[in-house]
Amino acid sequence: MNLDAAKAALSHLDLDVNPASIKAKSRDFFWYSPVLKARLDHVTADFVVTPRTEAEVIEVLKVCHAHDVPVTTRGTGTGNYGQAMPLAGGCVMHLHKMNRIKDIQPGRVIVEPGALLKDIDEACAPHQELRMYSSTWATATIGGFVAGGSGGVGSVRWGGLRDLGNIIRLRVVTMEAEPRVLDFTGEEIHRISHAYGTNGIITELEMPLAPAYDWVQIFVTLDDFAAANRMAYDLAAEDGILIKLATVFEAPIAQDYFQRVAPHVGTGQAVVALMVAPHAMGGFLTFLARHPAQIIYRSDSTKWDREPGQIFEYCWNHTTLRAMKVDTSITYLQVGYGSDDPLPLVEEVRARFSPEVLQHVEVTRSGGRVAMGGLSLVKFTTEDRLDEIIRQHEEMGALIFNPHRYTLEEGGRQTVDLRQLEFKREADPKGLLNPGKMIAWDDPDWAYDRMYAWPGLRKAAE
């Protein structure tokens, strides 16, 4: 790694060599996990470059390739799996200023990776908006969402980013002596989506759009968690009632962690957060009247002294963030309960672990069916106990997407994605892109019997 030569060659670009700001720009939201916090807190890049065009991205990749400098690419760093942590130091390439919204057509938008989800939605208004976004909508980039996310608000209608049709096209630059620019559609998209920038850098995205509505944001309470889950599941199964979000919180999540909501929720009550299209409110209210549920807030008519703000900022991983602000010992797990009949499994998991683990359930769609996933709140004690909780989840039949691991495989299904690996061989022959994040590249025979510790990770005292 010849850092000085690389920096010199890139000095005409927007280059940051100030140690304090490099440190700040080298961190994402990995600290949601005490496990990652213990291992990655010292991680920092050697310099940060902020390209503004695809040509500049190509230049960065070419120069760093020539001088064997690792490149870790990031948007605004809102990921929770350490996706954007530069484990080996080197270059952090920050894409947030490559943020043009290039074209908006019926059903589709073409953007650069650094465009904020919020800015895209505002540009597509009033008729259209993104199909789905993370709860970090206000601050996250589309490139980061596609390279490091899996779904979010809107997945109750459209499924996840991995589902066919939810990404139309990705334009990718390789890290070779002469970087190539490739347009990926169809099956090729999944070489590069959710690959943490380990095998190519996304410089343009074509994303499908949904119709935009002035979504009514709603909080509902029910006395019983199982009834709340049932209601949310059945609502998502109503094909004629258009919703964008359905989230269920076991007590006392709202009572303890949602300061502005708590005064309106009774002891022991479960809370459901919803986004409903205005023209679906009639059907929704008819549906709700069949359930033992009370609306405590709807954004089109309720007036609280202290407004709750955007309701989706209580959901997905904002739930964890709010809990951590109150109780620093809280962390979380990402759980898949499946789509066949998830309710009994959710209840079984809750019964075994509550209150050490509190159920926060996101309703989604998968394979044409209503599915449920958890971003369960976990009262962290030790890594061993966390691993034991995970083991018991798996034993009960739940899938764990472990957010206490920084590799693609361990944060996913613990299986190698051959499409990603094969494309990395082609696009990043020196293995310089976001090193340490793909076990299949570094240690193909890894057995997943314990947490993977990448040998190339810089030592804290280095």
Residue type for position 272: V
Residues 6+ apart with CB under 8 A from 270: 221, 222, 223, 224, 225, 227, 228, 229, 248, 249, 250, 251
- DSSP letters for 275-337: EE-GGGHHHHHHHHTTTTEEEEEETTT---SS----GGGGSTHHHHHHHHHH-TTEEEEEEEE
Q: Does 185 bind a copy of itself (CB under 8 A)?
A: yes
- Segments in 303-459 forming alpha helices (H): 317-326, 342-353, 383-396, 408-411, 418-427, 439-442
Considering only residues 375-414, where is the footprint of a copy of itself by CB under 8 A? none
Which CB, 38 or 125, lies closer to a copy of itself? 125
Near a copy of itself by CB under 8 A, which window of 81-89, 257-265, 281-289, 411-419?
281-289
Q: Does 164 bind a copy of itself (CB under 8 A)?
A: yes
Q: State which of residues 208, 338, 397, 412 lies at the interface with a copy of itself (CB under 8 A).
A: 208
Near a copy of itself by CB under 8 A, which window of 161-169, 216-224, 265-273, 314-322?
161-169
- At its nearest, how many Å lie between a copy of itself and the CB of residue 399? 18
Q: State which of residues 194, 365, 424, 437 lies at the interface with a copy of itself (CB under 8 A).
A: 365
Q: Does 172 bind a copy of itself (CB under 8 A)?
A: no
- At its nearest, how many Å lie between a copy of itself and the CB of residue 5? 42
What is the rounded CA–CA span in Å between residue 168 and residue 285?
Answer: 35
Q: State which of residues 267, 367, 445, 455 lies at the interface with a copy of itself (CB under 8 A).
A: 367
Q: Peptide bond preceding 263: is omega within 30 degrees of 0, i.e. cis?
A: no
Backbone angles phi, psi at 430, to 5 degrees: -85, -5
Considering only residues 72-111, where is the footprint of a copy of itself by CB under 8 A? 105-108
Q: State which of residues 8, 38, 285, 453 lies at the interface with a copy of itself (CB under 8 A).
A: 285
Question: Binding-site residue total for a copy of itself (CB under 8 A)?
Answer: 50
Q: Does 53 bind a copy of itself (CB under 8 A)?
A: no
Q: State which of residues 16, 119, 163, 176 lies at the interface with a copy of itself (CB under 8 A).
A: 163
Q: State which of residues 26, 80, 366, 420 lies at the interface with a copy of itself (CB under 8 A).
A: 366
Check if the beta carbon of residue 228 is closer than 8 Å to that of residue 273. no
Near a copy of itself by CB under 8 A, which window of 79-87, 206-214, 264-272, 376-384?
206-214
Q: Does 213 bind a copy of itself (CB under 8 A)?
A: yes
**What residue has token string 């059903």?**
107
Q: Does 2 bind a copy of itself (CB under 8 A)?
A: no
- In which element (H, E) is residue 97 found? none
Could you tell me the two tokens for 57?
Answer: 């991205």
Q: Does 237 bind a copy of itself (CB under 8 A)?
A: yes
- DSSP letters for 136-170: TTTT-BHHHHHHH----BTHHHH--TTSTTS--EE
The mark string for 11-30 relative to a copy of itself (x by CB under 8 A, - otherwise) is --------------------
Pairing of strands 216-222, 293-298: antiparallel
Q: Write down how long the chain is.
A: 462
Q: Does 418 bind a copy of itself (CB under 8 A)?
A: no
DSSP conformation class of 412: T
Q: Does 165 bind a copy of itself (CB under 8 A)?
A: yes
Nearest to 196 by CA among 145, 161, 159: 145
Q: Does 301 bind a copy of itself (CB under 8 A)?
A: no
- At its nearest, how many Å lie between a copy of itself and the CB of residue 457? 36
Q: Does 456 bind a copy of itself (CB under 8 A)?
A: no
Q: Does 368 bind a copy of itself (CB under 8 A)?
A: yes
Which CB, 165 or 455, lies closer to a copy of itself? 165
Nearest to 6 by CA among 51, 46, 44: 46
Backbone angles phi, psi at 196, to 5 degrees: 60, 20
What is the rounded CA–CA span in Å between residue 69 and residue 437?
Answer: 16
Q: Which residues bind a copy of itself (CB under 8 A)?
A: 105-108, 126-128, 131, 157-159, 163-166, 168-169, 185-187, 208-211, 213-214, 236-242, 277-280, 282-287, 289, 365-370
